[in-house]
Structures are given as structure tokens and as C-alpha cells.
Structure 1
Amino acid sequence: MDLTGKNVVVTGGANGVGKAVCLSLAKAGAACAVVDLNAEASSIAVADIEAAGGRAAAIIGDITRKEGADALFDQAVAAFGHIDGLVNSAGIYPRSPLLEISDEAWDSNFAVNLRGLYHMSVAAVLHMRGRGGGRIVNVSSVAGLKPHPGNAHYACMKAGVISLTKSFGLEFAKDKVLVNGIAPGWIATDKAKEAGNIFQPWALAEMPIGRAAEPAEIADLILFLLSDHNTYLVGETVTISGGTYIS
């Protein structure tokens, strides 16, 4: 995939799928703004991106309020001159029994997984439609389609991401801002490997393909949605779960 000359903002770009996207962007010739709260991890990510031959800038801050998200996007524009794509990959994965979810858990989950994504998308649309278009990719989850016990509040927000993807897609296709999403299943991120669930028989039983996805496999789909090869997808959320969820 050739994205030479493209500049892309990736929230949650310091770790996991976000970092895999940044590294794949580097190999594809694009520059990457790594938006994250973790300054140390962001610096490491930028060094890794540059070692892979790419250009990157660490943009440190909180996306959960409009003022912060706007400022972070403006910093990315200042770093690269213009932005062609946004990947909303930042997220948290809270777990709690359904009858025990606190107001604080609801609030933090909403702030990161949905409201922050909304604010970053608004900033991106306002910038992109003035330049003749762009691409936005939202990272949802199969949990938004097929909830598991113990993560109802997370599943609600990921379902909300799917809905927002449809709304943004419908409203801004006319401006040539193509907004789509992905719904991954199990992913073999470093955190997931440390937790060990992806290797458990009960988890593997959910995966017809027999394994969790590598972050780079998820990144490949995101890069297609960011690229000029994506010309007709609008408001879609593509499931990439190795058969864990087949719509």
C-alpha cells in the first residue's frame, strides 16, 4: 500500500494497534502524528517509526474534552502542514460485572472510547473538508456487535462508535471525507499476551481461524481504508475477527 506524502493522526499511537498502524504507515511512506497521553511510550514509538524510515511527531495530551482534542489536532497540523487521515485508535478496556458498574467507570469509558473519538473526528472533518477530502477510520470492536459478560459498558461504547461512524459517513461523504471503521476480534497485542487470555482454550474456541490477529494484520486493513484505493466505502464498519463474529 502506497501512502507516500500522506500525513495521518493516530490516537493511541504509542502502543498496541495504534503503534502497529504508525509503523505500517512509515513503511507505506506516510508521516504519523502519534497522539497519546503516555509521553515516554510516544517517544519510543516515534524512535521506532523513524528507525523504520518514517516521519513522526509525538503529540501528548488528552482527547476527552473538545478544547484538548482541538489543540492536539492543531499541533499535528502545525507539525506536518496538513492532515490527510485520522485513525481513532485510543481506547480503554474496562471490565466489571453488569450490576456493579460505577458512575466513574461509565464516565471514564464514555470520555475516552466515544466522546474523545467524536471530538477528534470533528476536528478532522473541519480540516479535511476545506482541503477537498480525507479519510477517517474508527477502531470499534466485535464487542459492539457481540457483547461478552463483564464488559457491558465497553460494549455500549463500541456500539456507539459504530453508530457514530455511520452518522459521520452520511454527513460528510459529500465533502469527500470518507469515514469508516473496523471491528476487530481478539488481537495479540503485548498487553493481551501478558494477560494470557488469547491463549486460553475458551478464547481460542471463539476463533475459527485458531489464533488471535497480529496487530500488523489489523493495521493492513486500516491502511486500505486510509488509502486512495478506498473510494466507495461510506459509514461502514468492517469486521476483522478471524470468524469470531460473522455478520
Structure 2
Amino acid sequence: MQGQAIIVTGGGSGLGRAICLGLAAAGAEVAIIELNAESAAATVDAIKAGGGRAFSVIGDITTRESAKALVDAAVARAGRVDGLVNCAGVYPRRPILEITDADWDFSFSVNVRGLYNVSVAAIAHMQAQGGGRIVNIASIDALKAHPKNAHYAAMKAAVVSLTKSMGLACAPDNILINGVAPAGIATEKARAAGFLGELAAQTALGRAAEPEDIADVVIFLISEKNRYMVGETVAISGGYFIP
């Protein structure tokens, strides 16, 4: 991916950081769009320590105007945008009868509207360049019901649907849009939440995914090695979910 510029939202920690590190190791310049300046700086420092190229743009993606300004700033600094990874998201857990209007609004604003806002801004640049790649991070919860995060699952199902629609709309412009739907990932936050052991017991491989397990699939989809996938969402669950 030498010479390519990739935007990653939510690249400050967890899966987003692993994706950024993997992209940089493959030769891409990484533009991190983050709300948390400190975590974004930590990822940028880690990439530079390994000899890679990265910078961050700090701001909120939940409004159309702000998301466009962030993408435009990233493209102005990098000179182009060859790919976008929509990784920014929130993971609220609450029993289905206790979900509040604020819970719904917050989850939608980041997980769906934010993803859409950044995508629209990036697609405009990709159309002008003659093509690009987008990867949306969905979740296995979009495909497998769970009683404690119904609103999150609904938002990620919306991401799967958006990936299909945007993929069809943008393929004629040589913009290939796909997604991944990971099961549990052994990030620091997930370890602290304490549910990975239960998940591992239900997984054929007997463990949760490491962030790099998911990042490697994302990197394939965002690269020019992916030449023929459009609107697909790849489930990555280690055998936790096999329909």
C-alpha cells in the first residue's frame, strides 16, 4: 500500500489502533479521525516509532458539517484519500426494556449517522480521483441476536444495510465498499468488561479474536488486492457464528 493515504475513524484505541498500525506497516499514510486527541496521539506516536507515517485530525463526526471538515482537512494534508475505514463506534449494553431515548440517539449518532457522514465526504473525493475503497466495521451482533445490546445490534444491522446500498451506488465509480462483522475482540475495554471468557467458550477456536485478526481482513478489503467484492459484510467470528 505504498503511496496510499487511508483515513481511519476511531483509530485511537482497540481495533482502530490495530488497523492503523497494520496499514502503516503495509506502507500507507494513515489519517486518524478521532474525538479523543490523547488516544489519537498515542497511535500516531506508535506508528512513527515503527517508521510509518500518520497524523490525526480531531473532531466530532456526528454532524454532516463537522465530518466533512475533518475529511477535507485529512485529504488536504495527505494530498488524496485512497481508502476509508469507518471504525468509530460506541458499544452500549443495556437490557432491552431499559433502553432510553438518549441511548437510542447516542448509538445512532455515532454508529450510523457518523459513519454515513464521513463516508459521504470521502466518497466525493474518491469520485474526483477515480476510485477508492471503504470498509465499514459492523458487528456479529447485527447477525446474531443478543438480549443486552438490542439498540447496538440494530445500529450495526443498519451498517450492514448501508454497506449494501452504498456499495451498489458507488461501484460504478470504482469505489468498492464492504464491511466486516467481528465477534468479540480482546481489546482492553472488552477484557475489563469481563465477557470474553463466556464468548470464547462458544467459539470453535476457543478464544476471542485479537485485534490483529480483524485488522488483517480489513487491510485486504481496503487494498487493491480486493478487486471484486461489493456491498459484502464478512463475518469474522472464529466459529462463534455460522449460519
TM range (shorter): over 0.9
Q: Is the 8 A contact 2:140 2:235 kept in 1?
A: yes
Aligned to 1:4: 2
In the TM superposition, residue 193 of structure 1 has moved relative to its aligned partner by 1.6
Query: Secondary structure at 2:33's aligned position in 1?
Result: strand
In the TM superposition, residue 196 of structure 1 has moved relative to its aligned partner by 2.4
Distance (Å, rounded) in 2 between the aligned partners of 1:139 and 1:62:
18
Summarize the alignment of residues 47-196 of structure 1 with structure 2, pairs less than 5 Å apart.
Answer: 47-196=45-194
Instruction: Report sequence identity in percent.
Output: 57
Where do 4+ consecutive residues of structure 1 move more than 6 Å? none
CA-to-partner distance for each residue in 1:91-130, whole Å, 9 max, x for gaps? 0000111111110000000000000000111111111011
Query: Secondary structure at 1:58's aligned position in 2?
Result: strand
Distance (Å, rounded) in 2 between the aligned partners of 1:18 and 1:127:
22
CA-to-partner distance for each residue in 1:135-188, whole Å, 9 max, x for gaps? 000000000001211100000000000000000000010000000000000101
Distance (Å, rounded) in 2 between the aligned partners of 1:64 and 1:224:
27
CA-to-partner distance for each residue in 1:179-205, whole Å, 9 max, x for gaps? 000000010111112222212xx3222
In the TM superposition, residue 4 of structure 1 has moved relative to its aligned partner by 0.7
Summarize the alignment of residues 34-49 of structure 1 with structure 2, pairs less than 5 Å apart.
Answer: 34-49=32-47
Query: Secondary structure at 1:169's aligned position in 2?
Result: helix
In the alignment, which of 12, 23, 47 is matched to residue 25 of structure 1?
23
Distance (Å, rounded) in 1 between the aligned partners of 2:242 and 2:9:
27
Calculate the aligned-residue CA RMSD, in Å.
Answer: 0.8
Aligned to 1:206: 202
Is 2:229 aligned against 1:236? no
In the TM superposition, residue 55 of structure 1 has moved relative to its aligned partner by 0.7
Gaps of 5+ in 2: none
Query: Secondary structure at 1:87's aligned position in 2?
Result: strand
**TM-score for both structures, normalised by structure 2:** 0.98
Distance (Å, rounded) in 2 between the aligned partners of 1:36 and 1:57:
11
Aligned to 2:242: 246
Equivalent AA in structure 2 for residue 238 of structure 1 = V
Distance (Å, rounded) in 2 between the aligned partners of 1:193 and 1:153:
22
